[in-house]
Amino acid sequence: MGMAKWESFLGSHIEGFFNRHLSSRLEPIELSKALQRELIQRRRKDPEGHVVPNAYTLELGAEDYEQLSSQRVLDELHVAVERAVIMENCLMDGKLEIQMVKDGQGKGALRVRSRFVDKGEASTNRVEPHTIVLERSDFHRPLDLPREYEIASLTVVSGVDQDSYLAIGEKQIYLGRLGKSDFILTDGNVSRMHAYIAYERHRHVLYDAGSTNGTFVNGHSITSERLQAGDEITIGNTTLLYEVL
């Protein structure tokens, strides 16, 4: 093959290679990573280093928008951001809002914007939490039933209930021997209603519920404690591990 033909071959194939890869469709995992990067960057810009925006807009090209604009994908992104808030040990005020919009970008392009939205903020561009911005007027959103997101988990790592497991999300849960508890423990040193975990500022907060023997996190007695990934909770003779899913 002559030099001119070789250069032509390389040019056409290299150009084709980059066109194929740079114009490839986005995948949900790429949206998730982009949101997490935006959250981390905004966290670093906060003077106190821990409060992040609660509203995120993903701007996609038309083809990617049509492919990815589904409630299933949006739910996955919601959970990814909630988990990132815990892993980055930051806080978020207000409801988490994630929306997708279609713009003039090409296939594979993605831009993420974030902002703080107050509870009473009024905006003509405001949409309901967890919804997708669709650009047709005849769309009617179905009944917005509450969704349960699994964000973290509790696993008994020592005690008579070893290996017992519970995935937890945004709902308040109760731990104890009482049959109505969300996480029932048979340890005789655990109170009937020993402790509970609330979801505050998009973080799990453990509270002692006036137990007889107290509640401990990483060996320290607590009345309340914002949980971090890897924390060990001890109630009675039972130790539970808190992990992000």
Q: Do 134 and 69 form a contact (C-beta atoms < 8 A)? A: yes
- Span of 28-42, 135-149, 150-164, 201-215 with lowest mean pLDDT: 135-149
215 against 18, higher pLDDT: 215
Residue with tokens 């109505």: 180
When pLDDT is cut at 50, 70 and 90, the band that residue 108 belongs to is confident
pLDDT tens for 129-180 read 444 443 333 334 445 555 678 999 999 999 999 999 999 999 999 999 999 9
The distance from CA 190 to its chain's CA centroid, rounded to whole angstroms, is 31
Q: Report whether pLDDT(122) > 70.
A: no
Model pLDDT, residue 128 = 42
pTM given for the model: 0.78
Report how far residue 89's alpha carbon sits from residue 29's, in angstroms, rounded to the nearest whole number.
Answer: 22
Give, in order, the Cα–Cα distances in Å from 90 to each of 84, 156, 213: 9, 26, 30
Residues 6+ apart with CB under 8 A from 237: 158, 159, 160, 187, 189
Q: Report whether pLDDT(245) > 70.
A: yes
Q: What's the chain's Rg over C-alpha atoms? A: 24
Mean pLDDT (whole number) for 212-217: 97
